[in-house]
Amino acid sequence: MTDQGNGRRAGHEPGTGTGLIPLPRRAAGIPPHGVFVLDQYTAVSATPGTEGVAHWLRTTIGAATGLPLPGGGDADEGEHHDHIVLRISPEAAHELGPEGYRLRVEGDGTVIEGGSAAGVFWGAQTFRQMLGPEAFRRAPVTGRREWTVPMAAVEDAPRFRWRGVLLDVARHFLPKDGVLRYLDLLAAHKLNVLHLHLTDDQGWRIEILRHPRLTEAGGWRARTKLGHRASPLWDERPHGGYYTQDDIREIVAYAAERHITVVPEIDVPGHSQAAIAAYPWLGNTDVVDTAALKVWDTWGVSPNVLAPSERTLAFYEDVLTEVLELFPSPFVHIGGDECPADQWRASPAAQERVRELGLAGPGELHGWFVRHFDRWLAERGRRLIGWDEILDGGAAGRGLTEGAAVSSWRGYAGGIAAARAGHDVVMCPEQQVYLDHRQAAGTDEPVPIGYVRTLEDVYRFDAVPPGLGEAGAARVLGAQANLWSEVTENQQRLDYQAFPRLAAFAETVWSHLPAPAERDYPAFERRMTAHYARLDALGVDYRPPGGPRPWQRRPGVLGRPIEGAPPIV
């Protein structure tokens, strides 16, 4: 052991710098290829603006290694001896952008500089990977008194600014601790958006003080369909749960510490049966006995949609007022998908509303809802984002404000149309990045849904489709992988569906990769060998390369597999 943990060990190759995921823009060893040693004397020097990253280093890497990582001296004075130096660099911001970073590991110290605190944080994530998989544990397990990092220089920056994951906590509730855990998993993969799907026909998951029955009645269902909606099986246990407003504040604050934005989704005007079950007057009472409706216990598209009344608008303005107080995200998702107009066609009240508004027919009430909340959010300095149906019907799409954005889920087409119309886009085509879809053919995959999407398939996803053009491509904020939870009932199943494919997705949205067909998938597989050890240390119940483990299977539970290659639409 060298004096105070310093010094180089020329020729020592511990292998801890291999397998970086996502792939950095540039990474190279520094001759003579020694190591930086972390031990009880190693300090963390945080320059102004990086104190949060220093706290994260101490609470994660410090916990895993057992090292104190105390505060260091004045890093601006050039004293880097045995220090990990964190700093924000205007030069890095100019050359790499706010989320870019440079990481230099030398024998006598490490410097992580970023274009902003976020860039420094992503650099710290890379540093953690270079320490080896044991750095992903919550307490020391090896008895080691020193840890080594290979001498290297890394320069990196993300391809997209929106690198997201949707968690559907409405169909199956994920307790708060599970959401916090997923925020850590997102951060470990340099993903920076968590889209929380908080409301649907099967449950309402956020406390609204003005309307308490949304969670008192709308947060619970009597039973749950097991498997696809055609399955004869039921789980007869009541299911539910919700996040209090303090829970939401905690989730948002925890995410912010990890430079992750939480985007809330409150669905209107469809996918609203849980809200109608809580407040029956929200539904079309002249068509359906809404007082008899319960929170839906099966899957699919419910016919029960919101009544197109001023009272309904005011109710959801109440809801969104509280949502805006809890979520600082510039974007608020309002759903806007899968809204059948059958009840509006049968409703005299809805028909009267169509005449009052001068609409062409009941189908245009969908666009009326969307435009109302688009303007309402814009007046409050926020931006509406919705599923690509918000462009349907011509007038609906033309009436959107300039700041409205589109989540393109039915394929690329909605995103292409939105970009060409001057709207920002998040690409999340179901045929490519719906991670609830099955990972292999055959009968071993648990509750097989949709197309086969292997790890390689996801690795070859690209958020910018060919032919979009430079102007259109500039409108693509990025992409997100969606984890819908109809048949993903708990954290273990969520892990299985997400990983390892989420690691591949993360690389597609962070790294500047070649065209999909030209990507070096065998090299990615080799890097995944190291990454599986990290996932093991994190306790992720991922799908092994050879197929599901016995406890990961769900024999006899009906799914909805779709055969053949998914179309590019």
- Residues annotated as catalytic (active site), given as ranges: 200, 271, 338
**Residue ranges in 434-557 assigned as alpha helix (H):** 455-459, 469-473, 491-498, 501-510, 521-538
Task: Look up residue 195 and give its two tokens.
Answer: 């889209």
The position carrying tokens 């303007």 is: 375
Buried b (16+ CB within 10 A) or exposed e, 181-200: bbbebbbbbbbbbbbbbbbb
d(CA 267, CA 500): 30
Q: How far apart are the first and last CA of the chain?
A: 60
- Amino acid identity of 459? Y
Buried b (16+ CB within 10 A) or exposed e, 382-405: bbbbbbbbbbbbeebbebbeebbb
The position carrying tokens 């390892």 is: 500
C-alpha R_g of the chain: 25
CB hemisphere CA count around 566 (13 angstroms): 23
- Amino acid identity of 326? L
- Residues contacting residue 214 through CB under 8 Å, at least 6 positions apart: 204, 206, 207, 208, 274, 275, 278, 279, 319
d(CA 330, CA 322): 15
d(CA 236, CA 225): 9
d(CA 15, CA 527): 12
CB hemisphere CA count around 349 (13 angstroms): 16
- Distance from the Cα of residue 300 to its chain's centroid: 23
Backbone phi, psi, residue 340, to 5° = -65, 140
d(CA 174, CA 178): 6
Q: Nearest CA to 113 among 121, 102, 125? A: 102
- 3-state SS assignment for residue 227: coil
- Distance from the Cα of residue 147 to its chain's centroid: 32
Task: Look up residue 395 and give its two tokens.
Answer: 């007038």
239 neighbors 220 (Cβ within 8 angstroms): yes
